[in-house]
């Protein structure tokens, strides 16, 4: 089980870069990575990674979670 906060539903609708900073502040054990929706990513699970999915305007469109 991963340590610290693992889900940020309150960030949906926020700007991706601001969301990244919030996630890394609230859980310093993770790296938040901002990605455009549809970008290919690896499927392995890591406790130190959070994908932050944004639309073409840079707005978070899905709940960021540890993946």
pLDDT in tens, the chain (67 residues): 899 999 999 999 999 999 999 999 999 999 999 999 999 999 999 999 999 999 999 999 999 999 9
What is the value of pTM for the model shown? 0.94
- Between CA 43 and CA 26, with CA 10 as vertex, the angle to 5 degrees is 75
- Give the DSSP letter of residue 63: -
Maximum C-alpha span of the chain:
34
List of domains in the chain: 9-66 (3.30.10.10)
């Amino acid at each position: 089980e991963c340590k610290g906060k693992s889900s940020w539903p309150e960030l949906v609708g926020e700007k991706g870069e601001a969301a990244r900073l919030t996630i890394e502040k609230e859980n310093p054990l993770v790296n938040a990575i901002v990605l455009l929706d549809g970008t290919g990513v690896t499927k392995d699970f890591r406790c130190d990674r959070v994908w932050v999915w944004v639309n073409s305007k840079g707005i978070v469109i899905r709940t960021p979670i540890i993946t």
